């Protein structure tokens, strides 16, 4: 999809998490921020979100840890892209 379409999809996902799944606004926002971070990581690798593989997620995790993110932060980020 076009980047704007992806943004609309992410906004809808955030709304769905809040309304349908009863997640807090902060949790839904955190998940959206995690996806945005992962998308930026993928873009640097010239990979689209829809093309991401398990190996991409594992490499992103390693990158987050190398950047001195706490394990808790990394786990929150990973939960946001499940």
Average pLDDT over residues 7-36: 78
- Residue 54: pLDDT over 70: yes
- Residue 64: pLDDT over 80: yes
How far, in Å, CA of 24 to CA of 71, rounded? 22
Q: Using CB atoms within 10 A of its CB, is residue 77 exposed (0-12), middle (13-18) or buried (19+)?
A: buried
How far, in Å, CA of 49 to CA of 42, rounded? 7
Report pTM.
0.76
Average pLDDT over residues 4-12: 73
- Residue 46: pLDDT over 60: yes
In the chain, the percentage of residues whose pLDDT exceeds 90 is: 43
């Amino acid at each position: 999809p076009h980047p704007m379409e992806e943004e609309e999809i992410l906004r809808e996902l955030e709304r769905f998490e809040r309304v349908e799944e009863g997640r807090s606004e902060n949790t839904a926002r955190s998940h959206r921020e995690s996806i945005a971070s992962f998308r930026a990581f993928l873009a640097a690798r010239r990979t689209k979100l829809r093309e991401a593989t398990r190996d991409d997620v594992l490499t992103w995790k390693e990158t987050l840890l190398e950047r001195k993110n706490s394990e808790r932060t990394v786990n929150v980020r990973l939960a946001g892209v499940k």
